[in-house]
Amino acid sequence: MKANNKKINYGKVAVLMGGTSAEREVSLMSGQAICNGLLKKGIDAVAIDTKENIYQSLVDHNIERAFIALHGRDGEDGVIQGFLKMLNIPFTGSDTASSGLAMNKLLCKQLWLQLGLNTAKFSQISQHQKVDFEWAKNIIERLGNVLFVKPIREGSSVGMSKIHNVEELQQAIATAQKFDDVLIEQFIDGREYTVGILNGKALPSISMVTPNEFYDYQAKYQSNSTEYFCPSGLNAVDEKDIQQMALIAFESLGCYGWGRVDFIRDTASNKFMLLEANTVPGMTESSLVPKAAKANGIDFSTLVEDILKTSFYKQKIESCHG
């Protein structure tokens, strides 16, 4: 098949990064790496920190297209997507509705269970509900004495805790409630995997090993001792299974373009259990999606341009329905 060397006119591209979420610092790193990658490809890109007056920045720079590099609130939850759609500025990745759904860990798990996909047992509690000893004790009796507690709409393991008793559960819920409503999830003993998705295809899976108690914020972004394996070590059948499951889980949320789906493999059952979907994963040159793309022979600059191309997909869809 002949390569299409026709140069694409992207116009002036804003790489939207930073913002005000708990993941601001990671977003700034992702955004700068993306901007550098686009510039290397000769694309007219500018980095814009959305913490400032984003509308004025878009106007001042005559922005025609946006690469969303915002992690967490206002970046992955549909807010920036809705804002850009209102301004008729094409953007990368998933749309307003699918971004909001993917950001909500509770709704994701409920949908995946309806589809018969594997995920850990869970419970929930609102952000403002008080947790007494008896309530916490009942949760442990139902789900087990080792649990994960996490805010429903945060990423990068922000506000997440692993607990082993009632008192720790009460404290962990209080910590997570500083951010949002809370998901309480059964602990699954096993190895963690992730599958990147690019334009409807699954990238090679990556497995992660950390000396930390779990793959937390420190293990993701600050540790030198976290190990990543790509290829992940899965046999061909298991690799096909986890990639297919990732695509089904991602597309069931209405997501498209690019993203990442995280798993843990239950040691007891040997089944892959869904953890969450990410519509704007980390994008430094050492992040997981670039690692998987590199294993497929895609360098970082080519990857960011491929992701930028996803902004044309919505334009085609909207013109079809217009």
Domain final position from 186, 210, 240? 186
Quick one: 257 and 113 in the same domain? yes
Same domain for 129 and 109:
no
Torsion on CA atoms 93, 99, 103, 108, rounded to nearest 10: -110
Contact 261/222 with Cβ under 8 angstroms?
Answer: no
1: in domain: no
Digit-coded pLDDT (tens) for 166-199: 999 999 999 999 988 999 999 999 999 999 999 9
Q: Catalytic: which of 99, 104, 156, 207?
A: 156
Per-residue pLDDT, 211: 59
106 and 248 fall within a common domain: yes
Any domain includes 7:
no
Its pTM stands at 0.87
Residues 112, 223, single domain; the answer is yes
Looking at residue 210, its pLDDT comes to 67
Q: Does 40 map to a domain? A: yes
Q: Which residue has the tokens 């709704």?
A: 107
SS3 of the chain: helix, strand, coil, percent, to 5: 40, 20, 40
Residue 4 lies in a domain: no
Residues of the chain with pLDDT under 70: 1-6, 155-157, 210-225, 314-322
- Which residue among 10, 21, 23, 252 is the active-site one? 23
> Degrees (nearest 5) of the Cα angle 96, 87, 256?
30
Answer whether 94's CB lies under 8 Å from 256's CB.
yes
With CA atoms as reference, report the closest residue to 157 among 221, 205, 76, 85: 221
Phi, psi of 28 (to 5 degrees): -60, -40
218-250 pLDDT, tens digit each: 444 444 567 889 989 999 999 999 999 999 999
For residues 202 and 293, membership in a common domain is answered with: yes
Catalytically annotated residue among 276, 287, 301, 311: 276
* pLDDT value for 225: 60
pLDDT for res 60? 96
Task: Mark whether 201 and 281 lie in a shared domain.
Answer: yes
Q: Is residue 3 domain-resident? A: no
Q: Are residues 255 and 174 in the same domain?
A: no
Same domain, residue pair 157 and 207: no
Identify whether 5 is part of a domain.
no
Q: Which domain holds residue 135?
A: 122-186
Domain containing 82 — which CATH number?
3.40.50.20
- Told to judge if 168 belongs to the known catalytic residues of this protein, a careful annotator would answer no
pLDDT for 23 equals 84
109 lies in the same domain as 204: yes
226 & 278 share domain: yes
Annotated catalytic residue 278: yes
